[in-house]
Amino acid sequence: MNDILHRIRAGSLMEGQQLPPERLLAAELGVARNTLRRALSHLEQEGHLVRRVGAGTFVRVTGKHNGGTLPSRMRGASPAELMEVRLIMEPQAAAVAASRASADDLKAIESALTSSLTASSLGEFEHWDGQLHLMVFRATRNSLLIDYCQAINSIRNEPEWYALKKRSVTEELCRVYDRQHSAMVNAIRDRDPDRARQAMAQHLGTVRDNLMGVL
């Protein structure tokens, strides 16, 4: 019984979604329908499920994790979680961009880099930093990756993230970021995915270390 409960929970879908029909789910789990029903009954009593005769069995909508937008999800995550995801995604995106960017993409990337190199305030630097990352993601031509980057950029402009950045950034650090950005852009221009990946990983590693240093 505990085994069945565990396996049903493990198969939990997102809120509001429908479980397979009992007869089908029982077959999938390799148990009798009565046995499954007993376990479902427990889950219903615990409040995880809603069961409607003639309609089906659904994961209860609590409104807590209601499948919000990507930015809202990011807001609910910790800085460490977000940086971890960035470190997973952004080096790979840079590598993809190195092999996939068009001439126009390269122009957009170089233009954003130039603007960030000449930025005269943190706000301006932040803006072009964000644009540079977005242009790299645009060059991947993968809509999901672009969505991700846009979500990051929308978060970074919010007061609490901006304040966090402000506390961790120095003039010298911007110069470090500039050099890291340049290395990454050079690698993309040279169509070298490995170098692009490494350069972006190094850059984000530095960003993370500095952010974590002020938390």
Partner DNA sequence: GATCAATGGTTCAACATTGGTTCAATCTCA
Partner DNA sequence: TGAGATTGAACCAATGTTGAACCATTGATC
Residues that bind DNA (CB under 7 A): 1, 4, 19, 21-24, 30-35, 37-38, 40, 51-57
Q: Which phi and psi angles does 106 have, rounded to 5°?
A: -60, -40
CB of 1 to DNA, least distance (A): 4
How many whole angstroms from its chain centre is CA 68?
A: 13
Name the binder of 4 from a second copy, DNA, none, CB < 5-8 A by kind.
DNA
Name which of 179, 151, 161, 170 is nearest 90 in CA terms. Answer: 151
Distances (CA, A) of 79 to 20, 94, 180: 37, 22, 21
**Which of DNA, a second copy, none does residue 123 bind (CB under 5 to 8 Å by kind)?**
a second copy
Among 18, 41, 62, 102, binds a second copy (CB under 8 A): 18
Q: Verify binding: residue 115, a second copy, rule CB under 8 A.
A: yes
- Of 207, 187, 205, 186, nearest to 196 (Cα)? 187
Q: Distances in Å between the alpha carbon of 40 and those of 10, 49, 53, 193?
A: 13, 8, 13, 50
**DSSP letters spanning 4-23:** HHHHHHHT--STTPBPPPHH
Question: Minimum distance between the CB of residue 43 and a second copy, rounded to whole angstroms?
Answer: 16
Query: Is the separation of the CB atoms in 44 and 8 below 8 Å?
Result: no
Kindly tell me the sign of the dihedral angle through the C-alpha atoms of 134, 200, 198, 180. positive
Q: Which stretch binds a second copy (CB under 8 A): 146-154, 166-174, 180-188, 199-207?
A: 146-154
CB of 27 to DNA, least distance (A): 9
Using CB under 8 A as the binding rule, whether residue 111 contacts a second copy is answered as: yes
Size of the site for a second copy (CB under 8 A): 57
Residues 35-74 touching a second copy, rule: CB under 8 A, are 66-71, 73-74
For a second copy, the closer CB: 116 or 180: 116
CB-CB contact of 16 with 59 (8 Å)? yes
User: By the criterion CB under 8 A, which residues form the site for a second copy?
Assistant: 2, 6-7, 10-11, 13-14, 17-18, 24, 27-30, 66-71, 73-74, 76-78, 81-82, 84-85, 88-89, 92-93, 96, 108, 111-112, 115, 120-121, 123-124, 127, 130-131, 134-135, 142-145, 147, 150-151, 153-154, 157
